[in-house]
């Protein structure tokens, strides 16, 4: 998983104490990007009526 390997690298940087602020910032950016991908996929599913109402409610 691409995001997983990025998180492992960033967590290692934080654990080693070097670049803590930069690692935290990078991790937050990665999490924001992941959230945006999830949001986009949900919006596509809603617009394409791929998911039913019950399935959408299960996501939340």
> Can you give the pLDDT at residue 12?
75
CA distance 16 to 37: 30
CA distance 60 to 52: 13
CB 27 within 8 A of CB 10: yes
Residue 56's pLDDT band (boundaries 50, 70, 90)?
A: low
> Can you give the pLDDT at residue 51?
64
With b meaning 16 or more CB within 10 Å and e meaning fewer, what string describes 11-23? eebbeeeeeeeeb
Domain ranges of the chain: 2-59
> Can you give the pLDDT at residue 1?
43
pLDDT digits (tens, 9 = 90+) for 1-53: 455 677 777 777 666 666 777 778 888 888 998 889 888 888 877 777 766 66
> Can you give the pLDDT at residue 25?
83
């Amino acid at each position: 998983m691409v995001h997983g390997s990025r998180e492992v690298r960033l967590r290692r940087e934080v654990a080693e104490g070097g670049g803590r602020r930069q690692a935290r910032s990078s991790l937050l950016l990665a999490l924001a990007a992941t959230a945006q991908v999830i949001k986009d996929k949900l919006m596509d599913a809603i617009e394409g009526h791929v998911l039913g109402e019950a399935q959408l409610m299960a996501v939340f």
